[in-house]
Amino acid sequence: MVSQPMTQPVTMYGIPNCDTIKKARSWLSDHGVDYIFHDYRNNGIDQALLDDLIERAGWPALLNRAGTTFRKLPEADRADLDRERAAALMLAQPGMIKRPVLLAGERTEIGFKPDRYAALFG
């Protein structure tokens, strides 16, 4: 099934060697969805983009607390997080941002679930 093209650009944010990113990119390609891929590690993330993502999804949804990068932080850095502290962590180490983050028009998807992508692009 090929979806109807979106009228607004689709951008995926993540890290190319991530297994979930690979699955999401395959899904988009298999369904004929054109998108731009932004690699956090090579291209970084700036404060304005991070602020936009936090505004769209909330910092708790964006922060990957289960990831190795976050778990290796000292306990003091992981405790008592708020928007400002979480944003500083994600800005300094974009690997702490859950992936993928998909922006499709006004919609924002965090993580990859085929049924959610199908609803978005179907």
Active site residue 18: yes
Specify the pTM: 0.87
Q: Work out the number of other CB atoms within 10 angstroms of the CB of residue 39.
A: 15
Whether the Cβ atoms of residue 39 and residue 64 lie closer than 8 Å to each other = no
Residue 2, C-beta contacts closer than 8 angstroms, at least 6 positions apart: 31, 32
CA distance 104 to 85: 27
Sheet holding 101-104, edge to edge: 36-39, 10-14, 101-104, 107-110
Terminal CA-CA length for the chain:
9
Q: Would you write out the chain's pLDDT as a tens digit for each of its 122 residues? A: 444 444 568 999 999 999 999 999 999 999 999 999 999 889 999 999 999 999 999 999 999 999 999 999 999 999 999 999 999 999 999 989 999 999 998 999 999 999 999 999 97
| From 6, 15, 18, 91, the catalytic residue | 18
